[in-house]
Amino acid sequence: MTNEDIKNLILEIIKDIDDEADFESHDPDKALREQLELDSMDFLDIVMELRKRHKLQIPEEDYPHLATLNSCVRYLQPLLKDA
């Protein structure tokens, strides 16, 4: 997967969690939770969807790596490079 693919994957998962999520003015370096009004329960959904779709096991201590869109890409790139 390219960085762009990973970005789109995360946005697609978020759109699936909340079909009214607004990405218009989204800053990829700012926290997803605050910008999109996601809570910890929604956040778990991102982790679970990555597991369901790409068999990725993300340990709890790595959750902070998924804080922003860009940090998601940095963290997931090596894990999804062959996907």
Partner 1 sequence: MSAAIRAARFIPEVLLIEKHSRLGGLNSYFYRNNTLYETGLHAITNYADPGNKQAPINRLFRQLKLRRKDFSFCQQIKSEVVFRNLESLTFSNDFDVFDTEIRKKFPRAAVRFQEMIDFINHFDPFLPSPFRSTKFFLAEKLQAPLLAEMILCPLMYYGSSRENDMDLSQFVIMFRAIFQEGMFRPRGTIKEFLDLLFTHYLEMGGSLRKNCGVKKILIRQNRAIGVELEHGETLECDHILSTIGHDETLRLISGAGASQSTDLARLGFVETMYSLQHKSTPSLPKNKTIIFFNDGERFSYKNPTDFVDFRSGVICFTANFQGLPQKSMMEIRSTHLANYGKWKHLSTQPDRYSCQKQDTSRRSAQMLENLIGSFATNIVYEDTFTPVTIERYTAKINGAIYGSPEKVKDGNIGYPNLFLAGTDQGFLGIIGSMLSGVSIVNQHILPKL
Any contact of residue 35 with partner 1 (CB under 8 A)? no
Q: How far apart are CA 21 and CA 14, in angstroms?
A: 7
Any contact of residue 37 with partner 1 (CB under 8 A)? yes
Q: How far is the CB of 63 from partner 1 (least distance, A)?
A: 10
Range 33-71 burial, b when 16+ CB lie within 10 A, else e: eebbebeeebbebbbebbeeeeeeebeeeeeeebbbbeb
Any contact of residue 83 with partner 1 (CB under 8 A)? no
Among 33, 35, 45, 79, binds partner 1 (CB under 8 A): 45
Copy the structure tokens of residue 18: 């909340």
Residues that bind partner 1 in the complex, under the rule CB under 8 A? 17-18, 37, 39, 41-42, 44-45, 48, 51-52, 60
